[in-house]
Amino acid sequence: MKIGILTQPLHTNYGGLLQAYALQQILIKEFGANPKTINIQMNVTFKTKLKGYIKNFAKKYILFQKNVNIFSFRPTENQRKIIAKHSDNFIENNISVTEKILRYDIKSLKKYNFDAYIVGSDQVWRPKYSPNIFTYFLEFLKDNNAVKKLSYAASFGVDRWEYSISQSQKCSELAKKFNAISVREDAAIDLCKRNLGVTAEKVLDPTLLLDAEAYKEIIDESKTKRDEEDFVMFYVLDPNLLKGALVAEIRKKLNFSFFQIMPKPFTKENVRNIDDCVYPPVSSWLEGFYKAKYVVTDSFHGTAFSILFNKQFIALGNVQRGMSRFKSILKMFGLEDRLVTNLKQIENGILDKNIDFESVNNILKNERNKSINFLRKNLFK
């Protein structure tokens, strides 16, 4: 079976790359399918740029936020290739993709003759990340009933409805044409029912469909082997004052060195030293989680890999990227207390409380079976 997977554009996002990789691996290994991820491109239009300028203007002069650059500084294509060289290499070697497809030219997929389309995972159904939201409800297939249509672990990112009235009406019509719908969060089940009029099933994020040994093969490719023991994997995407205070308190209580994977941001100040802005290889990112004694992260996929690799961890609440995702995955494994949003939780001894991974692993095994069965019954029966 030829399957087209429609997810967010693949770039330097580690979680985005690994969920795309994992879903393909499951479809190949479990079902012998022939999947391709649609290589959709982030075409930045003038309208998109204008919205960004207005948003940044409001942040700087209405909300009085510091360090906001109204005219965002973007890399040239050559600079992007330097920054993303390891990510691009991972895609080339590990993820089967179509030719480059612009968001407004999605109809050119017709020549691939896919037997089925899967929308997901990641925040494909969040309008701020998917400007042409109808594409992610497979509008381009129109009334083609010969092709199976389903979502796998699609995410709205938040627990509130962000669509306009017209978007809601059209997406509801399109969603009802799907053969099956699955989502990643508890809140998404209710959002689908109330706003789209469809029934959704909750499944695991694709990264959790593979076991730890599957990722060990990638880690073994790392050229920057970490021999150090007893270090904290520090993976924070959106630093702020509160997180800074939380991390400072964690540093006091954990007598380990901190390993930070993220490169310097691409700014006017850093452009002359662009090598400092290069994202490390995916293998190095995975190795950090795999070998860490402890993990501190505000990333959903950082949380997912902490669970998968059985690491003691703290998830710092990330309101900016959507709290619903964190609450849902932690609730699934009975780990709600690992979500930290204030200093009092650190002071009350959460760092001294160890996770019972025997229980976690049993839950993961059951949820993995249910999730794979969702794909089996809706794609291959």
Which pLDDT value is given to residue 47? 58
pTM of the model: 0.90
Q: Residue 92 — very low, low, confident or very high, per pLDDT cuts 50/70/90?
A: very high
CB under 8 Å to 273, separation ≥6 — which residues? Answer: 264
Query: Is 2-209+366-379's fold the same as 220-364's?
Result: yes
* Surface-to-core class of residue 7, CB atoms within 10 Å of its CB (0-12 exposed, 13-18 middle, 19+ buried): buried
What is the largest distance, in Å, between two alpha-carbon atoms of the chain? 60
**Rounded distance between C-alpha atoms, residue 192 and residue 198, angstroms:** 6
Domain spans, the chain: 2-209+366-379, 220-364
pLDDT in tens, 233-257: 999 888 888 888 888 888 888 888 8
What is 311-338 written as a DSSP string? Answer: -EEEEE--GGG-HHHHHHHHHHTT-GGG
**Closest of 127, 121, 100, 108 to residue 43, by C-alpha:** 100
Helix (H) or strand (E) holding 37, with range, is strand 34-41
Q: Which tops the pLDDT comparison, 140 or 223?
A: 140
Query: What CATH number matches the domain at 2-209+366-379, 3.40.50, 1.20.120, 2.60.40, 3.10.20?
Result: 3.40.50
Give me the sheet containing 312-316, strands edge to edge.
257-260, 231-235, 294-297, 312-316, 339-340
Which pLDDT value is given to residue 59? 61
197: left (phi over 0), alpha (psi -120 to 50) or beta: left
Query: What CATH number matches the domain at 220-364, 3.40.50.280, 3.30.70.1150, 3.40.50.2000, 3.30.1330.60?
Result: 3.40.50.2000
**Rounded distance between C-alpha atoms, residue 236 and residue 238, angstroms:** 6
pLDDT in tens, 303-337: 999 999 999 999 987 676 667 889 999 999 999 99
Contact 52, 73 (CB under 8 A): no
Which pLDDT value is given to residue 24? 98
Question: Which percentage of the chain shows pLDDT scores above 90?
Answer: 64
